[in-house]
Amino acid sequence: MDSKLSIKPIDPADRLILALDVPNADDARALVKQMGDAVQFYKIGLELCMAGGYFELLDWLVSQNKKVFVDLKFFDVPETVRSAVRSLANCGATFATVHGNQSIMEAAGKDKGDLKILAVTALTSLDRGDLDDLGFACDVEKLVLSRARRALEAGCDGIVSSGLEAPMIRSELGQRIMVVTPGIRPVENKPDDDQKRTVDVAQAFRNGADYIVMGRPIRQANDPRAAAQAVQTTIQQVFSA
């Protein structure tokens, strides 16, 4: 077995997280019903938060025995982040994301209960030119590894990282940290795709991802449920090889 492959006791069916980046909660519920047992884990982010009914949707997903990834990237005064995480800790979510410096990450971990905190390293929509614009005078890889190390030191449970940087993270930090990888594309990126640092499903896991997050490649497929099932088949093959 590949030394970078996740050895955490995770049900293979849970390793796919479907991003519910849809206009409203009704559309989200309809998609979940369409997916049926093909998807067990869902990400709900900013678009749904601003559309209304966010926490009602979270409660509904939990009532359907689905796992929930709250992707709101908390970034504020540390005590405010701590309070937000404390409020979320009893809502039944599995993951939540935090952004920011060491004190923000540490604050997020203080009252998280069973909620697992994921620190964002570098968004998969950013490349070297974007980091220059933001004032980061270092390579993407160095930034991601630095963020991963600091997240581990701060008490975070894992990170959100591109599959391109996952091998480096596994080589440096081993299996101690959880790696959630977005920006999964089954084929070469389209010119209008806003994701720049991408890998495919099998490569993401072989590179060290514990979970992958997929959205448009499944939602925009001719048959979204069949697309999700195909991803699940690939995951089963990777972990049974």
pLDDT in tens, 196-211: 446 899 999 999 999 9
Band of residue 132 on the pLDDT scale cut at 50, 70, 90: low
Band of residue 188 on the pLDDT scale cut at 50, 70, 90: very low
226-229: long-range pairs with CB below 8 Å, 24+: 228/16, 228/18, 228/35, 228/38, 228/39, 229/38
What is the predicted pLDDT for the residue at 170? 92
pLDDT in tens, 68-86: 999 999 999 999 999 999 9
Give the CA distances from residue 213 to residues 65, 160, 180, in Å, rounded to whole numbers and listed in that order. 19, 10, 7
Query: Is the pLDDT reported for residue 227 higher than 60?
Result: yes
Average pLDDT score over the chain: 88
What is the predicted pLDDT for the residue at 145? 86
Average pLDDT score over residue span 201-225: 95
Average pLDDT score over residue span 60-67: 98
Alpha-carbon distance of 41 to 56, in angstroms, equals 17
For strands 41-44 and 211-214, give the pairing: unpaired
pTM, two decimals, is 0.89
Catalytic one of 4, 66, 73, 110: 73
Q: What percent of the chain has pLDDT over 90?
A: 73
What is the predicted pLDDT for the residue at 128? 53
Query: Is the pLDDT reported for residue 63 higher than 60?
Result: yes
Alpha-carbon distance of 6 to 191, in angstroms, equals 32
Cβ contacts of residue 151 below 8 Å, gap of 6+?
A: 105, 119, 121, 158, 159, 177
The torsion of the CA quartet 46, 48, 51, 56, rounded to 10 degrees, works out to: -120
Q: Please name every residue paired with 18 in a beta bridge, in sequence order, or none if there are none.
A: 42, 214
Average pLDDT score over residue span 210-223: 95
Residue ranges of domains in the chain, CATH in brackets: 74-240 (3.20.20.70)
What is the predicted pLDDT for the residue at 192? 46
Q: Is 73 a catalytic residue?
A: yes
Q: Contact at 8 Å (CB) between 105 and 155?
A: yes
Query: Is the pLDDT reported for residue 131 higher than 70?
Result: no
